[in-house]
Structure 1
Amino acid sequence: MDSTKNFNDESDLSLKLFVVLSRALQAIEKQSVANIKSHGLNLTEFAVLELLFNKGEQPIQKIRHKVLLASSSITYVVDKLEERKYIERKACPTDRRVTFAALTPKGKELMDEIFPQHREALNEILGGLDSDEKKATIEQLKKLGLYAQRL
């Protein structure tokens, strides 16, 4: 049975889509965060480590924008990860105003261990769709997001 048949117009469908997207994201995030927390990290710490793991050392300000954090928050997260010896700060050789963050050997070892597990957990969490459905959903959500950004 199609649960959208009760909706009479485009506005009703848009409201329903928003609710369904929001609930799906909440359920996916809940499972993903639980997986990340099982490794002793919070979501923001993992996001920073994952960025450095996959992209290499990054200027701290760039990290802030990539993981959507306020300036004060990124400093706090970097401090916490540095205290745990997962990352280190490095001065930029060409611009004294820029500081990079890089994984330490301990941080790389941690991510070598947990990133494949996290990837598999996401595969399981998103296992409700097959490969073709995932590809189609990615394209549709990109289209929707780009349209919303242009408004």
Structure 2
Amino acid sequence: MAGTHTLAETERQVTERLSSKTLDFESMAVVSNLFRAASAARNHFERTVLHQHELSWTAFVVLWVVWIWEPIETRQIAEEGGFSKATLTGVLQTLEGRKLLTREKSQVDGRLVLVKLTTKGRKMMDTLFPEFNEQESSLASVLPSKRKKEVAEALRLITEYAASN
């Protein structure tokens, strides 16, 4: 964890500081640890496999979404990736400049822009994703195999609830 205090020290301090309040400490711990885990995982991926390919987290997410759903409209990439269209525009320009993807107007509706990977982009994802998944396996290895599905389902439930409210 980044910072000078360990996770245990932080949790102890939060409990001590807020003990006089009537709060749902278990839920607070779930959400706080969810955020910490997501941040730590993102930083881990950026320091390891993504760094080797000169990609930010956001650039990887864009490539991933396009790789899975291509051709895909820019607005759908932003929705799937969870970031603004303004952020997407800059990332698309960078990835297009690196010849990893292309943008073209839809032939059905000229107002829409479709994104596809180039051959170079597909080759990168074919190489990158197994490396990425190896890091996913490494991070998830702290969980017993029988708990992985349970944790994944719990995170899915939180994600679906947050997205619908």
Q: How does 1:1-151 map to 2 (within 5 A)?
A: 11-34=24-47, 35-149=49-163, 151=165
Distance of 1:117 and 1:127 partners within structure 2: 15
Cα shift at 1:26 = 2.5
Q: List alignment gaps of at least 5 residues for structure 1.
A: none
Percent of paired sites with the same residue:
26
Q: Deviations over 1:28-84 (max 9, x none)?
A: 222122221221111111111111112222111111111122222211111111111
Q: List alignment gaps of at least 5 residues for structure 2.
A: 1-7, 9-14
When residues 147 and 124 of structure 1 are mapped into structure 2, their CA distance, relative to the original with a 3 A threshold, is same
State the secondary structure of the residue aligned to 2:130: helix
Distance of 1:68 and 1:122 partners within structure 2: 20
Cα shift at 1:128 = 0.7
- Ranked by relative contact order (alpha carbons within 8 Å, sequence separation 6 or more), the top structure is 1
Distance of 1:59 and 1:104 partners within structure 2: 16
Counterpart amino acid of residue 58 in structure 1: I
Measured on the aligned residues, the alpha-carbon RMSD in Å equals: 2.4
Distance of 2:33 and 2:149 partners within structure 1: 19
Q: Deviations over 1:72-125 (max 9, x none)?
A: 221111111111110011221111111101000111111111111111111112
Cα shift at 1:12 = 2.2
